[in-house]
């Protein structure tokens, strides 16, 4: 693999990893932003948020859902080209409907959801178009 191919590969990994960080930060800051919604703290104290009973299982599910972009930050940097490419495409596609499980409730939710979906679309598109420059090049 020559230097140009290695640089292109490194840049692609860096872009994908950075996009996953962007998605993760938008998810987290949307949740932080939601904390200022009137009545949310009272709902949290009653263990019932937006009509959903907060149980250990619901908390675990939320943790697993948040772990997806966290893991993809690392995996985008470490996986070999072919596995990396397909992992980003598949996980990007699977993550979009996960974002809709909570559903937007107001304008700021729609704003964050739109940003997250656009970023995931970029991840899917960017990974889909990721090709090794030369067929003789072997990427680790």
What predicted TM-score, i.e. pTM, was given to this entire model? 0.82
Compute how many other C-beta atoms are within 10 angstroms of the C-beta atom of residue 19. 23
In tens, the pLDDT along 59-113 reads 898 899 999 999 999 999 999 999 999 999 999 999 999 888 876 678 888 999 9
Domain definitions of the chain by residue range: 3-128
Question: Treating both helix axes as pointing N-terminal to C-terminal, what angle do 107-128 and 81-99 enclose, rounded to 10 degrees?
Answer: 160
- Residue 134 corresponds to which tokens in the numbers above? 């030369």
In tens, the pLDDT along 19-42 reads 999 999 999 998 888 888 888 888
C-alpha 81/C-alpha 58 separation (Å) is: 35
C-alpha 45/C-alpha 36 separation (Å) is: 15
């Amino acid at each position: 693999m020559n230097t140009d191919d290695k640089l292109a590969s490194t840049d692609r990994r860096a872009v994908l990893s950075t996009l996953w960080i962007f998605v993760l930060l938008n998810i987290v800051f949307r949740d932080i932003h939601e904390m200022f919604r009137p009545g949310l703290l009272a709902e949290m104290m009653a263990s019932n948020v937006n009509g959903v009973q907060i149980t250990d299982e619901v908390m675990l599910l939320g943790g697993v859902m948040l772990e997806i972009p966290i893991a993809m930050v690392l995996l985008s940097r470490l996986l070999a080209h072919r596995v990396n490419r397909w992992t980003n495409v598949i996980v990007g596609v699977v993550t979009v409907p996960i974002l809709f499980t909570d559903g937007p409730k107001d304008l700021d939710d729609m704003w964050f959801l739109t940003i997250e979906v656009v970023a995931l679309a970029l991840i899917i598109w960017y990974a889909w178009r990721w090709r090794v420059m030369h067929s003789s090049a072997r990427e680790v």
